[in-house]
Amino acid sequence: MSERLKTGDTAPAFTLPDADGKDVSLADHKGRKVIVYFYPRALTPGCTKQACDFTDNLDLLTAAGYDVIGVSPDKPEKLAKFRDEENLKVTLVGDPAKETLEAYGAFGEKKNYGKTVTGVIRSTIVVDENGKVEHAFYNVRATGHVAKIIKDLGI
């Protein structure tokens, strides 16, 4: 398991395929703040709730200067199905090799229903316009997390 990121760290660079198979890089967002959130699996109840919350608040976040990228280990085809079925507006990218998940400290041991398992740790990293970590939230809940981010960012 990799180290968790802290405020002031340089956000690890990444280039991952989106739901349409097009590459999306953190570098594409230079000069804008980016909310990068990590979730376990598309088309599951908690992940759907979280993605819908981000979509519902996307205009507010964009107006405040934030772009939103959701990262999961899913392949582009599954992300496209997820986006289309749920009418998601956030950018979804897939990391089947889990390299970006590990670089951000969002993959490793976690508790799931009382058992220790290895998997995606639901996390959100806010990256500033210079590529530095502004906030790092780990082990977040799917429900209510977007509202908490909005409050914490003062939006």
Strands 33-38 and 123-127 turn out to be antiparallel
Catalytic: 52?
A: no
Q: What angle do CA 103, 84, 129 make, to 5 degrees?
A: 40
Residue 45 CB partners (closer than 8 Å, separation 6+): none
Q: Check if the beta carbon of residue 92 is closer than 8 Å to that of residue 83.
A: yes
Catalytic residue among 5, 47, 68, 71: 47
3-state secondary structure 19-47: CCCCEEEHHHHCCCEEEEEECCCCCCHHH
Residue 10 is classified by DSSP as B
- Catalytic residue numbers, as ranges: 47
